[in-house]
C-alpha cells in the first residue's frame, strides 16, 4: 500500500547543523566566510583552523552549506564563540 501525503510515516526533516550553545538545529552561515549564527539563540560562531580541544590543524573549507564543523582527529566542534 502506498503512503499518502501527510501520513505519519514521513521521513524526518533535517533542519541543519545544531548550535554548540543551545543544541537547536538552527545554525546558519552568515555573509562572512567561516562565520555562523544560530537563529534560535542568536549566538555567533567562527570556524577556526585549529581544534580548541586537541590542537589539530585543519584546512577550512569555506562552502556555505557544506563546511565541516567537526575536527577530523577528535570529532569536537571547530566553532568558537565570537
Residue-wise pLDDT for 4-40, tens only, equals 565 566 788 888 889 989 999 999 999 998 899 999 9
Q: What b-and-e string marks burial along 9-24, b requiring 16 or more CB atoms within 10 Å of the CB?
A: eeeeeeeebebbbeee
- The kind and range of the H/E element at 46 are strand 44-47
pTM of the predicted protein model: 0.72
Report the distance separating Cα 76 and Cα 31, nearest Å.
24
Residue 74 lies in a domain: yes
Residue 20 lies in a domain: yes
| Grid cell listed for 26 | 538552527
Which pLDDT does position 67 carry in this prediction? 56
**Domain count along the chain:** 1
Which pLDDT does position 14 carry in this prediction? 83
For residue 55, what are the domain limits? Answer: 15-82
Residue 10 lies in a domain: no
Which pLDDT does position 78 carry in this prediction? 87
Residue 78 lies in a domain: yes
- Residue 55 gets the label, from left (phi > 0), alpha (psi -120 to 50) or beta, of left
Residue 73 lies in a domain: yes
User: Tell me: the pLDDT tens digits for 47-75?
Assistant: 888 888 999 888 766 544 445 678 888 88
C-alpha pair distances (Å), 2 with each of 5, 11, 44? 10, 14, 44
Which pLDDT does position 4 carry in this prediction? 58
Amino acid at each position: 500500500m502506498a503512503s499518502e501525503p501527510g501520513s505519519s510515516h514521513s521521513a524526518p526533516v533535517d533542519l541543519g547543523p545544531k548550535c554548540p550553545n543551545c543544541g537547536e538545529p538552527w545554525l546558519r552561515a552568515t555573509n562572512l566566510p567561516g562565520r555562523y549564527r544560530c537563529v534560535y539563540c542568536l549566538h555567533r560562531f567562527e570556524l577556526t583552523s585549529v581544534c580548541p580541544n586537541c590542537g589539530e590543524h585543519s584546512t577550512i573549507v569555506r562552502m556555505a552549506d557544506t563546511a565541516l564543523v567537526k575536527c577530523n582527529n577528535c570529532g569536537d566542534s571547530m566553532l568558537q564563540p565570537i
